[in-house]
Amino acid sequence: MFEEGTIEGTHIRAFPAIKKKENLPALGQCVYCHRKADDNGKPLKLTSEHVIPEFLGVGLELPAASCAECQKATADFESAIATSMFDPVRKMLLLKGKGGVLEKTNFPLDVGRETTRHEFIPLRHYPTILLMPNFFPAASYSRRSPLSDDLFNILMFNINAEPEYLKQYALEDFSTQAIDLVHFSQMIAKIAHVYGTHRFEAFRPTVADFVRTTYPPGSPVLGHLEHVGCLWQRKLPPTDNLHEIEVGAMHWQGKAMTCIRVQLFAAYGMRSYYVTIGE
């Protein structure tokens, strides 16, 4: 449906379902704002940055890589995404976050037809569905406008939405997770940027400022899909990995851009997101 770029992959990092703690070499400066010291010349206190959010069951960290200001910005949207989009999935798949498997046992289930009406049912019968947005190719490697803000469709994987359970609780329609496209795009861009900074010595970053900007929920935003998108012509074989990251170069109209492929929930057939993190 669209002309799109092609990626030349050079390295794949796979993340199995069993969480493993691992540190990459320390960066020594903020991976987003690139500062080592404050305005008075005092060294900044830098914390570790998780490549993939820890709530998704991954323990890979880039030490000494985030200042307090940027860390707050990324923590805010990751926390919002974890709660609004992935909490039931994390619980059902037993993904281990910072404190282990999520302790929360009650999740809102919207069963209202015209207005919101929340119900709570036992966790073992909670209708859990993994939802992931499917994007058009990003503007940086297609003819899409940089101001495009729509998605193509939503991919679903039924984890625990069994008809007999729904009938037991007289449920005909329900709504669970919500997807904030801006915060989700920030999360994907953050994964790509952090891992790309580890893999490449130098590049002119394209998504760092987007990642470190605070966007209130529901605020109008344009440009969040300029560098984050999917490739429709690239078909990947099935994988047993929970998540994957691939490093490579995106070729489009005679240019080669630094590109990272991020595939969350690869074992469930979810799409890959291709992020052009630099030029």
Position 39 scores a pLDDT of 86
Q: What is the pLDDT along the chain (279 residues), one digit of tens a residue?
A: 579 999 999 999 999 999 999 999 999 999 999 999 988 889 999 999 999 999 999 999 999 999 999 999 999 999 999 998 999 999 999 999 988 999 888 887 887 777 778 878 778 888 889 999 999 999 999 999 999 888 899 999 999 888 888 888 887 777 777 889 999 999 999 999 999 999 998 889 999 999 999 998 777 788 899 999 999 988 888 899 999 999 999 999 999 999 999 999 999 999 999 999 998
DSSP assignment, residue 263?
Answer: E
Q: What token pair was written down for 66? A: 């985030």
Phi, psi for residue 54 in degrees, rounded to 5: -65, -25
Provide the whole-model pTM: 0.93
Classified as helix, coil or strand, 268 is helix
Structural domain spans, the chain: 6-17+99-278
Buried residues in 136-173 as b, exposed as e (16+ CB within 10 A): bbbbbbbebeeebeebeeeeeeebbbeeebbeeeebee
Closest among 47, 51, 93 to 70, alpha carbons compared: 47
Position 1 scores a pLDDT of 57
* Spatial contact of 243 and 227, defined as CB atoms under 8 Å apart: no
